[in-house]
């Protein structure tokens, strides 16, 4: 299979997996919990969720291995055409979510140390928007990309600490996987500024971030476990990651 065909197959597979996992999540939320919101003894909901997520990721991984494996450059990313508004949408969603989170913390008088995370999200969103608005040629964007990467890592740690109070792992799987893929993707994107980017991994984790965010969408609409601020934040980061992955799957990117 050529690089171009593998890229097309990976895009289609990501869409299929996103729809499949979203529908599966709806079924789980609607039919697997009892009146107390607990899984009945012997329920296969959690094993099936883990298995399906693993299978989807494995299939995408196999297709990603067929992509162009040469080091990637910053020049692979473009501000032309539809890519600029798509990037600004992702940055805008992150900005909105981070501002809402920060305001909520101020109203609740949350410790100042924790407010650094949404503040970093605001800075990251502004840097992402700034980087999308100017032409990117060669290197020089490492520090601009590093700040959002560090933010996603810190955000994942903060949220995992909150999730640890939930005894039901099935509640956190979609967001955990989405944030983990976002963190890896944002870290990988820093390498392109140094001309040592990983095209295969960049496409894989960027699309996977979008797939698992789609899986988390039913949780936002069908349950009260995801706040609007958290949803906008992860949606914005995942949107940015998906756009970056799609840029890496373009024909000219896979040929060079």
Say what the pTM is: 0.93
pLDDT at position 124? 95
Q: Could you list the residue range(s) of the whole structural domain that residue 12 is in?
A: 3-255
pLDDT in tens, 107-162: 655 556 577 889 999 999 999 998 887 755 545 578 888 999 999 999 998 888 77
The set of residues, in sequence order, having a beta carbon less than 8 Å from that of 95 and lying 6+ positions away, is 121, 122, 125, 126, 129, 236
Strand partners, 198: 71
Q: How many residues make up the chain in this entry? A: 256
> What is the distance, to the nearest Å, from the Cα of residue 227 to the centroid of all Cα atoms in its chain?
17
Number of domains the chain contains: 1
pLDDT at position 138? 46
Backbone angles phi, psi at 51, to 5 degrees: -65, -45
């Amino acid at each position: 299979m050529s690089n171009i065909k593998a890229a097309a197959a990976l895009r289609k597979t990501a869409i299929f997996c996103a729809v499949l996992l979203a529908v599966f999540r709806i079924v789980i939320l609607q039919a697997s919990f009892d009146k107390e919101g607990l899984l009945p003894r012997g329920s296969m909901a959690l094993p099936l969720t883990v298995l399906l997520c693993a299978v989807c990721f494995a299939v995408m991984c196999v297709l990603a291995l067929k992509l162009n494996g040469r080091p990637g450059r910053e020049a692979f990313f473009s501000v032309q055409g539809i890519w600029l508004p798509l990037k600004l949408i992702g940055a805008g969603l992150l900005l909105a979510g981070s501002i809402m989170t920060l305001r909520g913390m101020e109203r609740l008088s949350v410790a100042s140390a924790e407010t650094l995370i949404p503040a970093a999200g605001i800075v990251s969103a502004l840097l992402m928007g700034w980087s999308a608005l100017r032409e990117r040629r060669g290197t020089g964007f490492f520090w601009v990309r590093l700040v959002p990467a560090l933010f996603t890592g810190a955000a994942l740690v903060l949220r995992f600490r909150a999730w640890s109070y939930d005894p039901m792992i099935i509640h956190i799987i979609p967001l955990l996987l989405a944030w983990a893929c976002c963190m890896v993707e944002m870290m990988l994107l820093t390498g392109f500024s140094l001309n040592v980017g990983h095209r295969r991994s960049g496409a894989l984790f960027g699309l996977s971030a979008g797939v698992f965010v789609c899986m988390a969408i039913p949780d936002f609409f069908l349950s009260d476990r995801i706040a609007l601020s958290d949803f906008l934040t992860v949606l914005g980061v995942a949107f940015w990651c998906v756009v970056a992955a799609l840029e890496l799957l373009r024909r000219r990117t896979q040929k060079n």
